[in-house]
A and B are shown apart, each in its own frame.
Chain A
Amino acid sequence: MKKVKISSNNILLLITIALFVVMYGLGCVVYASKGFTHLQTFLNVLINNAGLICVAAGTTCVMLTGGIDISVGSVVAMDCMILAVGMEQKGISSVVLMLLVLAIGLLFGLVQGYLIAYLKIQPFIATMAGMFFARGMTAVISTEQVSIVSDKLFVGLSNAKVNIPFGIGAYTNKKGILQIPYVRPTVIVAILVVVLIYLMLKYTKFGRSIYAVGGNQTSATLMGLNVAKTTMLTYVLASFLCSIGGICYCLNTMSGTTTQASGFEMDAISSAVIGGTLLTGGVGNIVGTLFGVLINGTISTLVKSHGKLNSSWPNIITAILLCFFIVLQAIFAKIKEAKKA
């Protein structure tokens, strides 16, 4: 008989998953009439949050090293603006623009990573500067709201439906038309990102180094790991994922404005925290983050389904959950310490 491993970290992840199941189940029971039980409702949560999933994946990696990246929201806004203005006002092809956005993401991460890893500037401050810069640049590019309508490939990508095969979750609606559940291409990108990051974190030297750096920097150095390089590459990875997320986000909103995606960084961080990633570094899991995003998405959907609730409730509920998880983490940390003494 193999014993099931349950450590305090697994417990946090289990609580998160259980919470999601309960919450979604509750929605199914209460709002069954509003189509909550249909697979499409769940898929819509994924579609709406595909960008956030990519961004949160990057944020999770950064948090695993014990750092933080608060620039991501602004970078997403900047990406959207570059895409929108590039396509609509400059007539550049969307493929070139997407590559450009990814390249900018790499560069952004490189600068932030260098400041943090080699010049030892606090991650919060360095990425705060990045946040200011990207948000300001968004406005420098354009202060208007630019909608994307002309680029065929981009519009096509945005509207493309990928049907769920084998008729899973298909149903006939009241008008007798068969509804096949679908996702957007962005969801596939997001799922790909999650899978790849999961494998990267678990099976590559780099991935394990991230955990080691977050677990104990001194130890990691003594064990011969290049802590500065690992840290910098993590920030590069995070910004790159953020740019992928930016493209996905843009495919959802199909516009660029100076104020969009504000507070996105906190959504990403709170998703990771709710998913069991410790802000002190070294502990966490991309699967948890995925569930964190889904919980956030489900809360919004539930509030929307109710219809009469104030639109600030999702934020408040998320904050309460965040508080719950942070306090839980603190309690676990105290128990661990007490055990050691």
Chain B
Amino acid sequence: MDSNIALTMRGICMTFPGVKALDNVDFTLKKGEIRALMGENGAGKSTLIKCLTGVNKFEAGEIHVDGIEGPIVNKDTMDAQKKGISTVYQEVNLCPNLSVAENLYIGREPLTKIGTVNRRKMNQMAAQLMNDLDLDVDVTKNLEEYSLALQQMIAIARAVDMESKVLILDEPTSSLDDNEVEKLFGMMRKLRDQGVGIVFVTHFLEQVYAVCDGITVLRNGTLVGEYTIEELPRVKLVAAMMGKDFDDLASIKPEGIKDFSNVPLEIEAKGLSHEGTIKPFDLDIHKGEVVGLTGLLGSGRSELARAIYGADRAQTGTLKVDGKEVKIKTPLDAMNLGMGLLPDDRKAEGIIGDMSVRENIVLAMQAKLGMFKKIPMAKQIEIADKFIEMLQIKTASRETLIKQLSGGNQQKVILARWLATDPDFLILDEPTRGIDIGTKTEIQKLVIKLAEEGKSVIFISSEIEEMLRTCNRMAVLRDGMKVGEIGMDEMNQEGVMHAIAGGDHHE
């Protein structure tokens, strides 16, 4: 192994039931390098990291780490740590109720002669470590008294102090403000100069260009390429992440630009916002129009939709639905105005896992009717069967538990749940994520069909292709803010990517 290399992974393969999560992926990290690992949802970033740290078991491939002969396979994160691979996650994995010093040294505390914890020595060591890293922290205070950024840095300090050669930072900046991010970067650069190899997973493009030396891009479980930062300007990076693989699907949208200026508005949002997730925005949606929300993960595209729907209650602004001003406090309010939301996290917010397909389909309808007006069983069966057939949901029976279905079919059930309520306005947040290509097309066609029936749709997706095929107009989001709209005439790969990437053009 090259003495300059901290870590290599070669030909890593890994399958989840039914999905090839990683297909022959390579990854190289030099000593004293900060390398960004980029890719949209489902690209395989976290799977690759989990293979490295022993959380997932990979089926084929080799991992080599500097200083260890032969390929390694880690049993678990502890094992990985012993071999010099440490991970710091987005949620700080420390104990908020213990002091900073304890968090740094727990499990390996300095002891006194009688075997008790030598708190004085521990505090001295901790203070020294903090000092070395230029962190202004009182190590005797509880961790929870410090900002998330400092907690994050303390977590990194712990990892570094355990003599890590490879440091993985998994979305460490998601909850930090600009100032805090800058501090974190300072620390990263310092560690880089000490020879630590750092893998930086993030979805903020600016940050990649601010701190990284190299970029590795994954898409759909395969390696797109390993680049130096100079080789890959923003737009090219976005292109690499989102892919240009025009699949062989014919255009499903009717040709020609439809003019919506004479069609009445379904949704009129003015200055809506939710603190911490989405800054005030305006958005109009006509009846029968499909509006795409585009932007990278974390840009606020889901949050904008959630603010309209009342999933995260909007704190400012006004909303008009069908011309009338309304107040939406809860999702039920939104539903009674004819809205529906298909959330992006299917497992956490979509399916009711222990209920049958039938129960899941009639759920929203039942919620609208209330507790005491039960939909008669015969009607439930009729509705369930109708949608199972219409959406071609593959299930053993309508009484099968939804958690036993494949991801794509689960998604169709949730879609059926909303279609059953006959909504005027549907928000589809990543409706095609993690499902096979055939189902994807079906869902896209369905969206077009709904629009033709006069329903309005917000469509959110990481795949530009898909958005171009289905949307009449797109709103662009960046860093929790709506930064612009793209009309039909400007809607093409290049234009959208420039809009998402920002920076290059204007700065």
Contacts and interface: CB of A to CB of B under 8 A. Distances in A.
> Do any beta carbons of A and B sit within 8 angstroms of each other in the complex?
yes
Given A7-B142, A211-B95, A341-B276, A204 B116 contact: yes
A7 B276 contact: no
A199 B114 CA distance: 13
Interface in B83-141: 93-98, 102, 106-109, 111, 115-117, 119, 141
Interface residues of B, number: 27
Given A203-B116, A205-B117, A219-B93, A211 B148 contact: no
Given A222-B77, A224-B107, A341-B276, A282 B95 contact: yes
Contacts of B117: 203-205, 208
A322 B77 CA distance: 41
A216 B95 contact: yes
B107 A225 contact: yes
A215 B151 CA distance: 15
A306 B145 CA distance: 45
A220 interface: yes
A222 B103 CA distance: 12
Contacts of A84: none
Contacts of B275: 341
B119 A215 contact: no
Nearest to B87: A222
A279 B98 CA distance: 17
A340 to B, nearest CB: 7
A209 B102 CA distance: 10
B78 interface: yes
Contact of A7 (B77, B116, B145): B145
A216 B145 contact: no
A58 interface: no
B93 A218 contact: yes
Nearest to A283: B97
Contacts of B158: 223
A219 B145 contact: no
Interface string A193-217: 0000001001111001101101110
A282 B107 contact: no
Contact of B94 (A209, A211, A214, A216): A216
Contacts of B276: 341
A5 interface: yes
Interface in B260-284: 275-276
A248 B429 CA distance: 63
A212 B98 contact: yes
Contact of B109 (A205, A220, A340): A205
B145 A215 contact: no
Interface string A1-13: 0000101010000
A105 to B, nearest CB: 24
25 contacts: A5-B141, A7-B142, A9-B97, A202-B119, A203-B117, A203-B119, A204-B116, A205-B111, A205-B117, A208-B106, A209-B106, A211-B95, A211-B97, A212-B95, A215-B98, A216-B93, A216-B94, A222-B78, A222-B93, A223-B95, A223-B106, A223-B107, A223-B158, A341-B275, A341-B276
